[in-house]
Amino acid sequence: MSEEKKTTRKRKSVNSKGAKMPAVTKPRAKSTGVKRTRQVTKPKKELRRIAVVCTPGLDGHLGEIVDHFKSKYEVKVCVTSNLDHIFEAIKWADTIWIEWANKMAVDVTAYGHLLYQKQIILRLHSYEAFIPELEFINWAYITDLIFVADHIREMVMGRFPTIAQNVDRVHTIPNGIDTERFAMVRDKAGPAKRIAYLGSMNFKKGTQLMFNAFAELVRSDPEFQLHIGGEYQDPRYPLYLAQMIEQGIFKPGQVRYHGRIEDVPKWLGSMSHIMCSSLLESQCKAVMEGMSMGLKPLVHNFVGAKDIYPKGVVWSSIYQFVNQAMNPTYKPIVYRDHIVRNYNTVDQIAMIDVVLNAKPDKVEIFKSDKPDPVKLSVVMIMRDGQEHLARCLDSVKDIADEIVIVDTGSVDDSIEIAEQYGAKVYHHEWENDFSLHRNQSIGYATGDWMLIMDCDNEIVGDLDGLKSTLGRLSDNYNSVSFNKVDAGEDKGNEVNSTRALRRGFVKYRRAWHNMPIVEGMEKYGAVFFKDASIVHYGGVVHLDEEGAKQKTLRSKVLLEKSLQQDPDDYELFYYMLQVYGLEEKWHAAVNVGEKYIAARHKVGGFQYAAYYSLIRLYTKQIKGGIGRALSLLAEAKMLLPNDLDIAFIECELGMVTGNPQMMLSGARRYVSLYDIFKANPDAKGGRFTFHLNATSLLFCWKHMTGYLLKDGIDCLKKLQLSLTEFPEGQSRIDAEQEIAEMLKPMNIDTQ
């Protein structure tokens, strides 16, 4: 069933999600006794675009759903870990179906700036309820969360209250069984005593319990056989089974291993029972497939089992298992009818259609090809900014219809420089609150749009195109972001920054690191204008030691004030980490950084760069910190496999620890991601990136090449030496020729 969130949603920051939609509910369809088949709708001219993304090897539950989507919509199925393919799919689609709440969901929701106005459906099965990735999914971008079982839903929602606060709608839609494919083959009890087990064999599946329960059964009735269809995921289980056979617990032929089953209905057709020994399942789909064919189920009492299966088929002890297996009562029609009534694919697809139909019509970004006239106000706050001010105002003078500046106490020539450019300068005493003065400045603006600049900024690129774009934007879009970079080819970081704002629809918050709260951004996001950039000249990386120290001290005072105003603004912990790092207070930095990571599930726009910063601090500044650096790296790689900075720090940490395989792993990922991030400027979304630069690229290529060349030269020497093992004559000549042919494409002369 669907559930509408009843709490009032708090306003989100820049990195919040797309359109909210009204909740829908649909009761589970009841059986009418009439045979049901899936209805295929002819494709319409205007096809909805659905991207189905899934981790490789986990797409086994998608077959009927994808087939249904393809009958009605344009569909891309993306079963891959390739970032380029994932990135392309989520940009292309109107609706994104994420199968499994695992690393794939973390990856997709990390690109929230691409998800506005899209319907993002995440389906959570069972194993994900216990994995750390749930803490790193940005739930603010999920519009529909589908659980396949109520008991899993209760566990997850209880552990992660942030889901109810952020996700629009929560549904329970069981996995469907194709009752036509798994048709009745056993309509009455037969002489066979063949128990099927279908699935992987691991701890979760209770493999040891299955062996022990079956051992007790064959002690009472040795005619029973256990047929295993699946793959061992732990090498200890086949060893344990072999020992049971060797010790005579099982006689030859009583346990038969079939490996992976390609034709499941055919294989199940020769069985009489089907068993489950799991500790926890959402449903145990394999058992339901067997029940649909009339097999007698023997289901271990996993959490939630008695709410899913009919009375009399669930066992809690080995004694009960033996009794149920040997009980002559056999009701194949009842078993199948339970599946038809409650878990039919037709009903599942109908419920999924209801979820899909909740997506509202898309709001177009542009209202027309012809731009409306736009009055643009360039808006600034200023104090002693003469060093960079002229450059800044030069960059905007040709597009600014007015320049509005709030000065908070300049004693240098800033005011005179501003007035030379015709700026309207308003004077306010500095009150240690950037947002206060930012809101004062936009209050003086009279333009249709405002371009927010700082004295040490310069805007470069297609500025006429920017103004034209502002004139074409629909009324629903009130903000435009740009790539913001530190000046110099190799200086510091990059981030996307929201700087063009429609007047009357924005207010700033926070005393420091002020951020705009823009009407409509929560639904539609900010339009990214890729043809212009903001260049920053006044960052800490550009200052001398004393200047950097003074700026850091000012930042610290304002950060502390912001935390006093809102102690639960956990995002500020990230900036405190940076400030303590600049002050070289290493232990204070890692302490606040650890607090920030611990509060990640409470942070709407969690900055993954905290992992990078902490790993580097533990590696370079904290005595004995390598162990913690390595554990953070392992966690970061699991959660952020496509993060440029994490790849770089892996390469660097490999060099520090003398681990060439770690260095190579990081370097190879880095150079691959570098090309992707360069080709897609918005790939980083709202994340900071510190190593999208030539120096970092050189570092990775240098160390990777140095190691591989040395290894290659050593190999060539040993290859040459291996020829001496051949006796003089034709065999050595043949070997030399074989090597020469192999090395010729590499331009390596073997003479």
CA dist., res. 324 & res. 436, Å (int): 73
Is a pLDDT exceeding 90 seen at residue 44? Answer: no
Contact 186, 218 (CB under 8 A): no
Contact 668, 463 (CB under 8 A): no
CA dist., res. 257 & res. 222, Å (int): 18
Out of 6-20, 174-188, 256-270, 366-380, least confident range: 6-20
Query: Which tokens go with 721?
Result: 């030496």
Superfamily of domain 376-538: Spore Coat Polysaccharide Biosynthesis Protein SpsA; Chain A (3.90.550.10)
Average pLDDT over residues 170-192: 84
Arithmetic mean of pLDDT over the chain: 86
- pLDDT band at residue 19, thresholds of 50, 70 and 90? very low
Of 692, 678, 609, 683, nearest in space to 114 by CA: 683
Strand-pair partners of 275: 298
Is a pLDDT exceeding 70 seen at residue 441? Answer: yes
CA dist., res. 498 & res. 476, Å (int): 16
- pLDDT band at residue 742, thresholds of 50, 70 and 90? confident
The pair phi, psi for residue 333, each rounded to 5°, is -65, -40
Query: Which tokens go with 100?
Result: 């499994």
Percentage of residues in the chain with pLDDT exceeding 90? Answer: 59
Look-up: residue for tokens 């003074």?
Answer: 550
CA dist., res. 623 & res. 619, Å (int): 8
- For the ranges 30-39, 467-476, 742-751, the maximum mean pLDDT occurs at 467-476
Contact 457, 527 (CB under 8 A): no
Report pLDDT for 541. Answer: 64
Architecture label for domain 2-176+351-356: 3-Layer(aba) Sandwich (3.40)
Average pLDDT over residues 214-221: 96
Of 53, 6, 22, nearest in space to 143 by CA: 22
Of 427, 416, 423, nearest in space to 378 by CA: 423
Is a pLDDT exceeding 70 seen at residue 639? Answer: yes
What percentage of the chain's residues is helix, strand, coil (to nearest 5)? 45, 15, 40
Contact 227, 194 (CB under 8 A): yes
CA dist., res. 576 & res. 282, Å (int): 42
Q: What is the pLDDT of residues 360-372, one digit of tens each?
A: 777 888 988 889 9
Report pLDDT for 34. Answer: 36
Superfamily of domain 194-343: Glycogen Phosphorylase B; (3.40.50.2000)
Is a pLDDT exceeding 50 seen at residue 644? Answer: yes
Is a pLDDT exceeding 60 seen at residue 36? Answer: no
Contact 67, 93 (CB under 8 A): no
Q: What is the pLDDT of residues 346-355, one digit of tens each?
A: 999 999 999 9
